[in-house]
Chains A and B, each alone.
Chain A
Amino acid sequence: MDAKKGDWVQIHSIILKPEERASHLPEDTKRVPLEMWEKGFILHDANVGDEVEIETVIGRRAKGILVKVNPVYEHNFGEPVPELLNIGMELRKILEGEGHE
């Protein structure tokens, strides 16, 4: 079993299929479903891909397909950006330079 009862997990569900979506959407959005992800503590042992039930941090119950066990925050500080690296030095040079009081 990928997840044991009580594990912190993420579930996925389809809220609206493409044909159920609102009429006034751009074409690219209308072609894809409206999807949802929720996190909570799983109420029973299960494998990734199973339909499961969770209890969220506020005590609400939700159902969906188990996609991740112990989901990780993956956003970060990014890479050094060459286009930004010199800005500080350039601005200090302007402040130190002549041509103004």
Chain B
Amino acid sequence: MNRDMSYEAVMARKNEIMKMAVGIDYNEFEMGGLAFDYEKMMREVGYSIEDITRIQSETSVGNTPLIELKNITELVRAVSPSGKGARIFVKDEAANPSGSFKDRRASVSAYRAKTQGYKGIISATSGNYGAAVASQAAMRGLKCIVVQEVFDSMERGQPEILEKGRKCEAFGAEVVQLTVGPELFYEFLCLLEETRFFNASLYTPFGIAGIETLGYELAHQVRERTGKDPDAVVITHAGGGNVTGTARGLLKAGCKNTKIIGASVDLTGLRMASDNDFNRKSFTTGHTGFGVPFATWPDRSDVPRNAARPLRYLDRYVLVTQGEVFYMTEALSQLEGMERGPAGNTSLAAAFAIAREMNRDQILVVQETEYTGAGKLPSAQLTFAKEMGIKVYRSDPSENKPGERIVIPEHPSQIKVKDVDLMQLKRSYIKNCLENSHLEKLSAQDIGFLAEETRLDEETVERIIDNLGVI
């Protein structure tokens, strides 16, 4: 084959390559203007929750334990006003075969790839998702390639990503390791074209529908244990899939009043595509570098229409600092005897602060944990951070500065959440829609779509559009 493999030529073939690699014709869901039929896409391309449960049980995914964190709840109450301190439960997603909730996402893609006759499956990810795809591929008899962004230009590897790469190799996957830069996508496209494997994108309806079982199981487990619905669920938020899938599962279980709270590690100020900043952060996911851009423009992903649309579901979005998450990771290990984390404990750190605002009879669920070990432990990350010149010390976490200082709290009462203004994210989302669509006038259908996307009423959407002055 004498194809032009230059950067420009391959990027220009993006849509053609993706159509072959995910087998979805996204045009079927476009409605003209800027709207598309999200629920139709989820219904027709995805699978029902019963189908997903069956697919996942074939590879031992899901049905993870719900664990009440009694000592951490006790600690919350020890530092809260009388009558405050919700019961905290955690869904122990580390019990999935590859050690994280990402098995739920990978399971459906691997099933789809196998049933559609693909020989293998590829994923572009530096996260636990790589190990999940590799593990599911091993079980389904598929070949697997994982493409990771892992080194800076000095060939220093992020310890956590190195560990995730090792785990992929343990499951028999080929791991392609790259330096920093969004052109990873170019290499990914080259590999898709060369191998004709399935793209296990995080953002297809398969990847999102796979998480719905998490919310669904969680709802039933909480009801069984406490006789009521969870009052709130805290979800570590990065690309939006975890929030979207979990919230959809909760809704399918009938939890209409459960508050959906997203939580990210605050990495404000660090540039994600920067070679210098890459190894100045101690969290490789669950942070604002993904959480904010993916909420305000989900269709930046590798597929034309992202099935992860967090603004449709979020009731609240909060930030915690790196030091607070390390502190809570230590607390989980020391008080509950569960060595888990790190990024999965972002929601735990947020839950600790939020539980202090809630009443004692209320139920707060942290919806994931992840496996830990070499490279991933706080000791591994903080040793690396110190080598990179980051100051690590104990004080009030409000002194935190991403890329410069990691502040480990001196007392649990110092753990606080910072609320992100969701209205501002919704305005940004609407602005991005208008700018990317280049439309001169919006139809009633477009306004209705934006209202659904942002959970605002149409009048508010119209007022925002008028104020933006883009069209």
Contact = CB atoms under 8 A, between A and B. Distances in A.
Contact of A77 (B74, B153, B380): B380
A35 B178 contact: yes
B10 to A, nearest CB: 11
A94 B412 contact: yes
A37 B178 CA distance: 6
Contacts of A22: 7, 181-183
B179 A84 contact: no
Which of A75, A79, A91, A97 has the most C-beta atoms of chain B within 10 angstroms of its own C-beta? Answer: A75
A87 interface: yes
B370 to A, nearest CB: 16
A34 B183 contact: yes
A25 B273 contact: yes
Interface string B388-399: 000011100000
B374 A87 contact: no
Given A83-B393, A83-B394, A76 B275 contact: no
Contact of A75 (B153, B273, B375): B375
B174 A29 contact: no
Contacts of B381: 78
Interface string A10-27: 000001100011100110
A56 B174 contact: yes
B176 A92 contact: no
B172 interface: yes
A7 interface: no
B127 to A, nearest CB: 15
Contacts of A101: 77
Nearest to B326: A84
B173 interface: yes
A91 B377 contact: no
A53 interface: no
A16 B183 contact: yes
A1 interface: no
A91 B331 contact: yes
A20 B8 CA distance: 10
A37 B176 CA distance: 6
Contact of B378 (A26, A59, A84, A88): A84
A79 B379 contact: yes
Contacts of B331: 87-88, 91
A81 B335 contact: no
A95 B143 contact: no
Given A21-B181, A29-B180, A91 B334 contact: yes
Contact of A34 (B75, B178, B276, B335): B178
B79 interface: yes
Contacts of B78: 94-95, 97, 99-100
Contacts of A87: 327, 330-331, 334, 408
28 contacts: A21-B181, A22-B183, A25-B181, A35-B151, A37-B176, A39-B175, A58-B144, A60-B194, A75-B374, A75-B375, A76-B375, A77-B374, A77-B379, A79-B383, A84-B330, A84-B379, A84-B408, A88-B334, A88-B335, A92-B334, A92-B335, A94-B75, A94-B79, A95-B71, A95-B74, A95-B78, A99-B78, A100-B78
